[in-house]
Amino acid sequence: MVRLLLCSLVLSMMIGGCDKKDEVEDIGPVWILNVIVRDGEFPNREISSCAHVKWKYSGEFEDRDTPCRIDNNFVKVWEQIHEDVRIFFHVECPGYTSSEETYVDFAYALVDTNSDGQEVIQNRTINIYPE
């Protein structure tokens, strides 16, 4: 009897834990940094599926890591935005030297000028070189 009660309790917690009603569906507005990674020796050749964008907010010391998704040369980094932010980032990829650290600014005021009003986007192309 106790075992049945325990199993019922665990099952109800699992089902309740999967309930999506309490999750926020609209996460905007967001800043988005799209990074295209290319081989510096052959600038028209995009590097597939190895790039990681290491990034942090201005004033932070620990890098956050965002990898390529699927098999592409494209890394999309994003977070919510509530004020102007500066993001420092560099690109790493096995077999290539890391890019130099650079930064990009996101102005919160630009969120309202976007067509859907939910994001502000910056696109960057970064060249990295074989080791």
For residue 102, what are the CA distances in angstroms to 24, 58, 88? Answer: 33, 11, 6
In the prediction, which pLDDT does 27 show? 73
Residue 30 DSSP code: E
**Structural domain span for residue 118:** 32-128
Tokens read off for 114: 């976007």
Number of domains forming the structure of the chain: 1
Q: Is 67 domain-assigned?
A: yes
State the pTM of this model. 0.73
In the prediction, which pLDDT does 117 show? 60
Q: What is the CATH classification number for the domain harbouring 118?
A: 2.60.40.1120
Per-residue confidence of the chain (131 residues) as pLDDT tens digits?
Answer: 555 544 454 445 444 544 444 444 567 799 999 998 998 898 788 887 778 899 999 999 999 998 887 666 678 898 999 999 999 999 998 899 999 999 999 998 888 665 566 888 999 999 999 98
User: Residues 6 or more apart from 44 whose CB is under 8 A from it?
Assistant: 38
Neighbours of 111 (CB within 10 A): 19
Q: Is 91 domain-assigned?
A: yes
Q: Is 27 domain-assigned?
A: no
Q: Is 108 domain-assigned?
A: yes
Q: Is 100 domain-assigned?
A: yes
User: Closest by alpha carbon to 61, among 120, 104, 101, 106?
Assistant: 101
Q: What is the pLDDT of residues 44-78, one digit of tens each?
A: 888 877 788 999 999 999 999 988 876 666 788 98
Residue 41: strand, helix, or coil: coil
